[in-house]
Amino acid sequence: MAFELPKLKYAYDALEPNIDARTMEIHHSKHHGGYTSKLNSAIVGTDLEGKTIENILSNLDMDNKAVRNNGGGFYNHSLFWEVMNPEGRGRLSGELKEAIEAAFGSFDAFKDEFSKAAATQFGSGWAWLCVHKGGKVEVCSTPNQDNPLMPDVSCGGTPILGLDVWEHAYYLNYQNRRPDYIEAFFNVINWNEVEKRFANAK
């Protein structure tokens, strides 16, 4: 079955003033929609058809640019929408909080590390919080639509929190002020969802 553009669980304007409605509409319907249709075109009639996106990316031929770029774009954005919410739902707690404090020393230190990864990613890309088997977490960044599931990227594990730092994710509202956008992202993180992903992945 072909991949489908996931529906958002909140309205396009629900994340304002942190992320504006026009950016959300264009980002979801046009950019994510484009990755979805191009991914389907890239895998139709191949042995990748019918596989999960996680299976496709984990066993990816990195020279297959169409699947690398559009499969990554599909997966990354699907996660991105899920780890945000308009209500500040949940606070970091439990085993994930313990894992973050063990890895970084404190939540503030983690926030600094994650923000640095996002701010210093040259050009387009993503910042990630990933979890390895056993529960160890790390922060990293990847270029373009690459992600930690793919072979031969700069970090591994399962991504449980991701921030899109392509200009299309923030330029209408923030222009070149990427650090302001990164700071605003922390106002809309759905920690309940991130903790659920941590529990499933570790």
pLDDT tens over the chain, length 202 residues: 699 999 999 999 999 999 999 999 999 999 999 999 999 999 999 999 999 999 999 999 999 999 999 999 999 999 999 999 987 666 888 999 999 999 999 999 999 999 999 999 999 999 999 999 999 999 999 999 999 999 988 788 999 999 999 999 999 999 999 999 999 999 999 999 999 999 999 8
20-202, CATH topology level: minor pseudopilin epsh fold (3.55.40)
pLDDT of residue 116: 98
**Residues in Cβ contact with 76 at an 8 Å cutoff, skipping those fewer than 6 apart:** 126, 145, 147, 162, 164
* CA nearest neighbour of 145 among 129, 130, 165: 165
Binding site, annotated residues for Mn(2+): 27, 77, 164, 168
pLDDT of residue 1: 62
pLDDT of residue 89: 66
Place of tokens 């973050």: 100
pLDDT of residue 103: 97
Binding site, annotated residues: 27, 77, 164, 168
pLDDT of residue 155: 85
pLDDT of residue 61: 94
Which residues, in sequence order, are bridge partners of residue 84? 189
pTM as predicted:
0.95
**Residues in Cβ contact with 59 at an 8 Å cutoff, skipping those fewer than 6 apart:** 151
pLDDT of residue 54: 97
